[in-house]
Amino acid sequence: MPEFELPAIRPPSESNSLLIRVTRNCPWNRCTFCYGTLYDRQKFELRSIDEIKKDIRELKNFSESLIKWAKNNGFGDRLGDVARANGVSWVNNDGIKTAFLGDSNSLIVQTDTLVEILTFLYQTFPDLERVTSYSRAKTVLRKSPDELQKLKNAGLSRLHIGLETGDNELLAEIDKGATADEMVLAGKRIVEAGISLSEYVVLGLGGKDKWHQHAVETARVLNSINPNFIRLRTLMVKPNTPLYEKYIKGEFHLSSCEDILIEERTLIEHMDVQSQLVSDHISNYLPVDGKLPEEKQRMLELIDGVLSMDPELRARTVQPEALRSI
């Protein structure tokens, strides 16, 4: 059995991507809704370039052996099915087209080293069309525009950034480690480098008390950035996190289903962007997806239709599989 490390997490949009572990855990690991769960307070580590290249070679050999077996046994037109039957998601019928660099912030790696990794990855998997990574706004701001351009030229196609909220008060409360202005500057720097940008927003992060400022200020920041994608998540308060402790003490009041939908509607109503809005997570109540501004009215009408339902019917209609409260 081949030996290689895989990232702890990846975006849902990278579910069929080749996963390359460049770093271990999170260099920040202080956000109040996350700390103590995902990376379990583990130490952040940079993997050596030799380790990473070894994994890339192992992944290449493993993929090729799987493809060879499928073709030799009459399943050449069903590579994806064979791969998934063997627990592999990155081999598809049309080959291996996308890759994701994990864990939480691969951009923290020195630029020349990351360029070397990207170059080697594309050399090893020449059919790749997209390579993406998570990052943080502060990390982006530590890269010069020239460095980001070098990464773009080396094949870094997209960055996933956790904006979470555009409200400075909430950014401080969740210990995000960046201000709204820094979020805007980082987002613009990515866009100007020609790298595709996904910004993540957490619905419900302001709770019942600060939902309006969360929605309006988040829309303001997104309007300033104009990212390629805006990806919605709904807050899930998990045990062992600082936010959970606030919830238990009665210092944070969870938003109801109706509250979340009103907040989501307010966010969309205030946005003036040319972005793809995506609801691609199990935590969300509604599949609110569409191109802005062209499909804004349709999305608002979808939310309005659910809000106008009888509360009991609405609860049965939109309750997600994932529970967000205890």
The pTM of this model reads: 0.92
Of 254, 229, 251, nearest to 242 (Cα)? 251
Residues 93 and 188 in one domain: no
Note whether 100 and 131 are within 8 A (CB): yes
> What pLDDT score does 36 carry?
74
Note whether 180 and 219 are within 8 A (CB): no
Give the domain-ending residue among 135, 151, 181.
135
> What pLDDT score does 321 carry?
43
Domain limits for position 35:
1-135
Q: How do strand 290-291 and strand 196-203 relate by DSSP bridges?
A: unpaired
Strand partners, 130: 98
User: Which DSSP symbol is given to 12?
Assistant: G
Residue 144 forms part of a structural domain: no
Residues 177 and 283 in one domain: yes
Percentages of the chain per state (helix, strand, coil), in multiples of 5:
45, 15, 40
Give tens-digit pLDDT for 15-72.
899 999 999 999 999 999 988 787 777 789 999 999 999 999 999 999 998 889 888 9
Give tens-digit pLDDT for 184-234.
999 999 999 999 999 999 999 999 999 999 999 999 999 999 999 999 999
**Type of residue numbered 102:** G
Residues 129 and 178 in one domain: no
Residues 97 and 57 in one domain: yes
Note whether 137 and 190 are within 8 A (CB): no
Please state whether the peptide bond connecting residue 103 to the residue before it is cis, i.e. omega within 30 degrees of 0.
Answer: yes
